Structure 1
Amino acid sequence: MNLLLLTSEFAPAKGGIGTYAREIAVAATELGAKVTLVAPDYGEDRSVEDRALPFEIRRFHGALHSMRDLPSKIALARSQVRSGSFDLVHAVDWPFFIPLALARSLTPARILMTVHGTEINETQTPLKRLAIRMTGVFGPRTVIAANSRYTRELFRRRFAVDTQRIHTIPLGVSGFWFGNRATRDATRSAYGVGADRILMVTVARLTRRKGHLLTVSALRALPEELRKRLTWLLVGPEGEADYVAELRNEAAKTDCDVRFLGTLANEQIRDVYGASDFFCLTGLPESSGRVEGFGLVYLEAGAAGLPSVATEIGGVPDAVIGGRSGLLVAPSAEKIAQAITTLATDSAARSTLAAGALAHARHLSWRRCAAETYGLGQFTMENLSGALVQASPRQRPVNAVEPAYPA
């Protein structure tokens, strides 16, 4: 199969879409497809790094997307689809939806567009909806892949597209996160965390919608004895300055051992996972339209055998299987405190959920994602036939280095 992928985000920029593009391209290549990926150059010569990739990458002059870039992306999409005989052309993210729709007549290939969550709401302005309708974005030969059941339902509600053409294909977690890490004792010693401490870790940008302040409130509701035994490591770059200041101030008022580690390399994060007892990320619903489309960071932690405390928002229930790979709760301090207490004090429950988290991460590999998305491997072209394979959520107990800091 000859695949053409168009993405507006890619290395060296950090972000989930760039990771998705890279990893699904690598996995499709491993499954026997010929892959050509088109990505921005961010004003730099990336040829040395690009030659190390197992697929062809074509860079265009550009950076992070702006609507001013739409005319150049339209011309780019037209030139790229005419550059080869492709079986399937994949718009990895929203900025290439309209350009690819306008190039559809130039190729007999199947058209695939992936929706990730937030952009579904961002395309609801009158001007964007008019552009989508006038260009026939979701027209003939076009299939939509959604990264979670939540994203699929959100897209279905926002656009009048035949539901048979909208398919849930959960993302994957890189084999990197299953790789060798420092021993638990060595990492704890390096961070000055005693062997008897309960170690909870959060990896996410310090921003409102990630819910760190909600976790702080939950810590205050813990029994005093548990608070004094718990160490919480927060890994991730800082977001809004006022929010970070408030978070640090409120964390200092608790009698928990709360540490802000800032940005760490993925290798360091992998070591921290191996030294921790469980993962906690309590995101919040947002009125701004931003959504948590999936939640790859939960799977990265799961690859280290860490069960999660997670809030049941957006697509998180596909990344954390409640009662199997972690505890899914409502976004309230009381419920989060109860879940933290369970994982901190019930070693049997923690062990069971840890095994489930590891199994879930192993199951949702990038090869599985590429196979379902493109009809590769055990999936045949007949399976694709204008519609993508949809996995049963109960059979999905979720593998490239996913960015450690989801935006």
Structure 2
Amino acid sequence: MNILLLTSEFAPATGGIGTYVREIAAAATSLGARLTVIAPDYFSETSSHDRDLPFQVLRFQGGLHSMRHLPAKIMLARRQIAAHDYDVVHAADWPFFIPLGLARNRTRARLVVTVHGTEINETQTPAKRLAIRSAGVFGPRTVVAANSRYTRDLFRQRFAIEPQRVKAIPLGVSSYWFGQRRERDSTRRAYGIADSSIVMVTVARLTRRKGHDMTLAALVRLPEALRRRIIWLVIGPDGESDYVGELRGLCASSDCDIRLLGPRPDSEIRDLYGASDFFCLTGVPDSSGRVEGFGLVYLEAAAGGLASVATEIGGVPDAVIGEESGLLVAPSVDAIARAIAVLADDREVRDRLSAGALAHAQMLSWERCAAATYGLPAPASRNDNQQTALLRVGE
């Protein structure tokens, strides 16, 4: 199978779309497909990075997407699609939807577009809806791959196309997160963490919609004896400066052991997962229209054997299975406090949910995601329970 994958985001830029493209492209290649990725060069030399990848990367001159770049993307898509005989052409994100729609008559390939959540709301202006309709973006040959059941249902509410052409295909978790890590005791000693401490870890940008302030408010409400046993490790880069300043002030004035570690490399995050007792990320609804389409970080933590405390928003229930791989709660301080208390204070519940989290992560491979997206032969499962997972979180 010959696949063309169009994306406006890729390494060396960091972000969820770039991760999605890299992982699904590598997975499809491992399943026997021949894959070409078209990506921006960010006005820099990328050949040293690209030649280490198992698939071909062709770069176009450009950086972060702007609407003024749309004409160039349209010409690029038309030229590339017409020049080769592809079986599948896949637009990985919104900026290539219209270019793909306008090039559809130049190929007999199956057309795939992936929706991640937020862009569904962002394309509801009259001008954007007219452009989508005029370009035939969601025409009869196009299959829409949604990254969760929530995203699928949101798309069906916003766009009137046949339901069978909109498929929920949950994302996968890289085998990297199952890999070897430092011994738990060694990592704890390096961070000055006592054996008796309960470590809760969060990995997310310090931004309002990730809800760090709500987690902090929940910690403050715990009984003092339990609160003093908990160390909260917070990993991630700064977001909005006013919010970060407010959060740092709240942490400093709280009677909690909170360690804002900033961004950390994946290898260190993997080690810290191994040294922690559970994961916590309590996102909140965002009035701007941004949504949590899936929540890949929950799966990465689960691959490290960590159950999660998570708020039941957006597509998170596909990443965290309530009462099986973690505790899903309403986005309220009281509900979050109760969930943290359970995982911190009840070793039996924590161990049961941690085992469920690991099993859930093992079920959701990128090879499974690639096979479902492109119609490739189903891969061998990472464990014998994969079919159970697909029934639970698939369509």
Fold-level similarity (TM above 0.5): yes
Cα offset, 1:118, TM superposition: 0.3
Amino acid at match of 2:392: Q
Relative to structure 1, is the Cα distance of residues 372 and 9 closer, same or farther in structure 2, using a 3 angstrom cutoff? same
2:73 maps to 73
Amino acid at match of 2:322: G
Amino acid at match of 2:68: R
1:195 maps to 195
For residue 157 of structure 2, give the secondary structure of its aligned residue in structure 1.
helix
1:239 maps to 239
1:395 maps to 392
Amino acid at match of 1:395: R
For residue 98 of structure 2, give the secondary structure of its aligned residue in structure 1.
helix
For residue 83 of structure 2, give the secondary structure of its aligned residue in structure 1.
coil
Amino acid at match of 2:184: R
Task: State the Cα RMSD in Å.
Answer: 1.3
- Judge conservation of contact 1:330–1:336 (CA < 8 Å) in 2: yes
User: Where do 1:201-212 residues align within 5 Å?
Assistant: 201-212=201-212
- Judge conservation of contact 1:229–1:256 (CA < 8 Å) in 2: no
1:308 maps to 308
1:102 maps to 102
Cα offset, 1:394, TM superposition: 4.5
Q: TM-score, normalised by structure 2?
A: 0.96
Distance 1:237 1:394 in 2: 36
Cα offset, 1:201, TM superposition: 0.3
2:157 maps to 157
Distance 1:277 1:315 in 2: 24
1:215 maps to 215
Q: Sequence identity of aligned pairs in percent? A: 67
Cα offset, 1:391, TM superposition: 9.3
Distance 1:59 1:110 in 2: 23
- Judge conservation of contact 1:363–1:396 (CA < 8 Å) in 2: no
Cα offset, 1:396, TM superposition: 4.2
What residue ranges of structure 2 are gaps of 5+ in the alignment?
A: 380-386
Q: Deviations over 1:324-378 (max 9, x none)?
A: 0000000011000100010001111100100110011111000010011111123
2:120 maps to 120
Cα offset, 1:73, TM superposition: 0.3
1:13 maps to 13
RCO higher in 1 or 2 (8 Å CA, sep ≥ 6)? 1
Q: Deviations over 1:252-277 (max 9, x none)?
A: 22211001000101100000000000
2:182 maps to 182
- Judge conservation of contact 1:325–1:355 (CA < 8 Å) in 2: yes
- Judge conservation of contact 2:202–2:280 (CA < 8 Å) in 1: yes
Residue 92 (1) aligns with residue 92 (2): yes
Q: TM-score, normalised by structure 1?
A: 0.93
For residue 72 of structure 1, give the secondary structure of its aligned residue in structure 2.
helix
Distance 1:59 1:117 in 2: 26
- Judge conservation of contact 1:168–1:391 (CA < 8 Å) in 2: no
Distance 2:98 2:389 in 1: 30
Give runs of ≥4 in structure 1 deviating > 6 Å. Answer: none
Distance 2:390 2:367 in 1: 17
Cα offset, 1:251, TM superposition: 1.5
Residue 341 (1) aligns with residue 338 (2): no
Distance 1:250 1:393 in 2: 42
- Judge conservation of contact 1:318–1:393 (CA < 8 Å) in 2: no
- Judge conservation of contact 1:364–1:396 (CA < 8 Å) in 2: no
- Judge conservation of contact 2:284–2:313 (CA < 8 Å) in 1: yes
1:32 maps to 32
- Judge conservation of contact 2:90–2:112 (CA < 8 Å) in 1: yes
- Judge conservation of contact 1:41–1:62 (CA < 8 Å) in 2: yes
For residue 161 of structure 1, give the secondary structure of its aligned residue in structure 2.
coil
For residue 121 of structure 2, give the secondary structure of its aligned residue in structure 1.
helix
User: Where do 1:35-74 residues align within 5 Å?
Assistant: 35-74=35-74
For residue 103 of structure 2, give the secondary structure of its aligned residue in structure 1.
helix
Cα offset, 1:157, TM superposition: 0.6
